[in-house]
Structure 1
Amino acid sequence: MKIVFMGTPEFAVPSLKMLVAEGYDVVAVLTQPDRPQGRKKTHVPTPVKQAALELGLPVLQPERLRRPEAVAELAAYAPDLIVTAAYGQILPKAVLDLPAHGCVNVHGSLLPKYRGGAPIQRCIINGESVTGVTLMYMAEGLDTGDMISRVEVPIEDEDTSGTLFAKLSVAGCELLRQEMPRLAAGRVEAVPQDDAQATYAPNLNREDERIDWNDSSRNIYNRIRGLVPFSGAFTLWNGETFKAWAAVKPESDNGGEAAPGTVLAVSAQGIEVKTGDGTLLLTEVQPAGKKAMSAGDFSRGAAMKPGTVLG
C-alpha cells in the first residue's frame, strides 16, 4: 500500500518516523514551503521536511495544494492512503478522492471540540483540564470527518502549548500505530461527529496574544502559557511591546484598589501586576528589542517602577 504523508511542524514528525520504522511504504511527503525566519530572513525547512530528507523520502512543497498542477503531481504517486498531521492546508475534494483507503488526519483535540488550526493553544487558553488526539477520516469541511479513534491526555497546570504539543505528538503517533493495521486492510468503521457539540479553534491573531489586565489572574496565566513557546503573550510598556513568557500566582494578594495593569512590585522574584481579581507575578519577560530574560535579570537594570501601568 502506497502512503503519502502530509505534515509540517514537529508535532507530525513522530508519526512520519513511525510509519517508516514500521515498514509502511511512504512514497512521498508533503509539507509547507520553506519560510524566511529571523532577522536575516533565511529560508528554513519545516521539521517534517528535515525528517523526510533524513529518511530519504521525496518531498513536495506546493504553495497551494488546490492548484491543478499540485494535485497532478500528488496523483502521480498513486497513493492508496493519505495520512495528515498538522499539514496546514485544507485538502480539496480532488485530493480527498485520490486514495482508495481514504485520507486520515491526526488531530490534536477531542473532536468535535476544537476544530481548526490552533486546538492545542486554545484549549490551554480556555483553561481546559483534558484534551487528546482524534484519528479521523477527512472530509471537505473543517475537521468534520468521521472519527476512527480517540485518546485523552490530561493538561497539567504547568503545561504550556510547547509541552502539550510534545505530549499530543506522542499520543497521536501511538494512536496511528494502533490503527494502521486496520487502515491498511481497508476503510474501517468510523463514528460521525455530533455537530451540535462542535467548538472551533481558529488560528491565533494579534489580539489573542494581548493581555487584558481586567481579566482574572487565572485567565491571564492560562493565556501566557497557551502562547509559549510560540508568539508569547504581550502587554504595552511605554507604548512598546512587553512580552510575558512565564508567570505564577502570588500566595497573597496585596493589590488593594490599584487599577488593573498597575505594577505593584519589581523584584528578583517577579513583576507583580494587578489583575481584575487579584495579582499575577511575571517571572520571565521580554522588553521590546531584547531577548527573553528572568525577572531577576530584568529587575537589576529595569526602568520599570511600582505604579507603572501596563496596557
Structure 2
Amino acid sequence: MDLNIVFMGTPEFAVPSLDMLIAEGYNVVGVVTQPDKPQGRKKVLTPTPVKAAAERHGLPVFQPVKLRDPESVARLAKWKPDLIVTAAFGQILPKAVLDMPVRGCVNVHGSLLPKYRGGAPIQRSIINGESVTGVTLMFMAEGLDTGDMISRVEVPITDEDTSGTMFVKLSDAGSKLLQAEMPRLIAGETTAVPQDEAEASYARNLTREDEKIDWNRTSRELYNQIRGLVPFSGAFTMWDEQVFKVWAAANPNQIGASETGAKGQAEPGTVLQLNASGIEVQTGDGSLWLTEVQPAGKKAMKAADFGRGGTLKPGTVLR
C-alpha cells in the first residue's frame, strides 16, 4: 500500500530519519520544517538541515511560521497525508493536523519517555548527570509528548559525551527505530502502550540562565553543565565584567585529589593556577580544570594557550 507520508523536522537530529524513509522507498510527498533563520555574525539567511536534505531529495518543502494557522493546515491537507512522521520539528501540532492522517502522527523523541518530555531532552539528560538515555517512537497527542509509546531503545551516555555527540548517536538510533516500525505503521498494525504519568518529567527549553556557571556547585555538576551545552551555546562565567565562555573542561573523576583544590581553600570561582593543563578554578567541593575557553570578542581557544597570555591571573575570582 503506497501511503502518502509527510515528514516534519528541523535540526540535524531529524535528517537520518528522513534519509532512511527515502532510502527505503517510502512515498514521502512533502516535508515541513521551520522557516529559514539568520545565522552567524553576518546574519545570513540559512535553511534548516531538514530543508537542505529535502531539497537534495527533490522533495517539496513547506515552512510555516505557525502550523496551527488555518491557512497552514489547509496547505498541509493538499498533500493528503496518510501518515505524518515528526522528529524535532519545533512546533506543537494542532488537533486539525493530528486528526488528518488515517495512520496517525508519530514522533521520534530523544528520550526514554515519559522522562524528559519537551524541547531539550538530550541537553538536560547530560546536564542532570544521567548515564543512559534513548529514543522513543510514539503516537502524537494534544499534550506535550504525552502520546502512547510504540517502541523505545536505550543509548548509554559516557562521561566524555556532549550534547553534540549524543545528538548524533540518538538521531541514528531514532532512524533505526523508525525503520523497524515502518512496515507495521504502513499496515496499520502498530501496537502502543500509554505512558505512566507518575514517571513523567519535563525538559524545558534552555535559557540564558541555564548557561550561567555557579561556581558554588560541585565540580561534577559543572562538568555536566558544560558538556550539556556543547556545541550549541557553551557555558559562561563573568570575568572583568565581560562574558567568558567555557567550551570544555577536564573530567573531574579522572583527576587525582592532589591535582584539585580543597573545599574551603579559596572562594568558589577563584582561579587557582594556569598551566599546560588549562585553568584550574575553585568550585563548591574542589576544583575544575577548564580546557577550552572563549574570552569576549575572541575565538574559542585552548585554555592552556589563553593562560600563556598572562591576562588572567591566579587569585582572580570569576563570577
TM-score scaled by structure 1? 0.99
Contact 2:271 2:318 in 1 (8 A): yes
CA-to-partner distance for each residue in 1:47-85, whole Å, 9 max, x for gaps? 000000000000000000010000000000000000000
Q: CA deviation at 1:38?
A: 1.1
SS in 2 for 1:301: coil
Structure 1 partner of 2:261? 254
Structure 2 partner of 1:146? 148
SS in 2 for 1:224: helix
Q: 1:302 to 1:184 in 2, by over 3 A?
A: farther
Structure 1 partner of 2:238? 236
Q: 1:12 aligns with which of 11, 14, 26?
A: 14
CA-to-partner distance for each residue in 1:144-170, whole Å, 9 max, x for gaps? 000000000000000000000000000
Distance (Å, rounded) in 1 between the aligned partners of 2:307 and 2:240: 17
Residue 279 of structure 2 is aligned to residue 274 of structure 1: no
The number of residues matched between the two structures is 311
Give the ranges of 4+ consecutive aligned residues of structure 1 lying more than 6 Å apart after TM superposition: none
Contact 1:37 1:43 in 2 (8 A): yes
Structure 2 partner of 1:123? 125
CA-to-partner distance for each residue in 1:227-278, whole Å, 9 max, x for gaps? 0000000000011111111101242323452010000011221100000000
Q: 1:51 aligns with which of 45, 50, 53?
A: 53
Distance (Å, rounded) in 2 between the aligned partners of 1:86 and 1:56: 21
Distance (Å, rounded) in 2 between the aligned partners of 1:95 and 1:259: 55
What percent identity do the matched residue pairs reach? Answer: 73
Contact 2:13 2:87 in 1 (8 A): yes
Distance (Å, rounded) in 1 between the aligned partners of 2:204 and 2:261: 37
Distance (Å, rounded) in 2 between the aligned partners of 1:300 and 1:45: 40
Structure 1 partner of 2:219? 217
The answer for unaligned runs of 5 or more in structure 2 is none
Structure 1 partner of 2:32? 30
Distance (Å, rounded) in 2 between the aligned partners of 1:116 and 1:267: 41
Structure 2 partner of 1:83? 85
Structure 1 partner of 2:305? 297
| Residues 141-180 of structure 1: pairs in structure 2 closer than 5 A | 141-180=143-182
Q: CA deviation at 1:189?
A: 1.5
Q: 1:264 aligns with which of 266, 269, 272?
A: 272
Contact 2:279 2:304 in 1 (8 A): no
Q: CA deviation at 1:296?
A: 2.1
Q: CA deviation at 1:188?
A: 1.6
Contact 1:83 1:103 in 2 (8 A): yes
Distance (Å, rounded) in 2 between the aligned partners of 1:69 and 1:267: 60
Contact 1:264 1:274 in 2 (8 A): yes
Return the letter of the residue paired with 2:140: M
SS in 2 for 1:164: helix
Q: 1:247 to 1:160 in 2, by over 3 A?
A: same
SS in 2 for 1:264: strand
Return the letter of the residue paired with 1:286: Q
Structure 1 partner of 2:72? 70
Distance (Å, rounded) in 2 between the aligned partners of 1:262 and 1:295: 16
| Residues 86-105 of structure 1: pairs in structure 2 closer than 5 A | 86-105=88-107
Distance (Å, rounded) in 1 between the aligned partners of 2:24 and 2:167: 23
Return the letter of the residue paired with 1:185: A
Contact 1:101 1:187 in 2 (8 A): no
Distance (Å, rounded) in 1 between the aligned partners of 2:200 and 2:48: 30
TM-score scaled by structure 2? 0.96
Return the letter of the residue paired with 2:302: S
Return the letter of the residue paired with 2:266: A
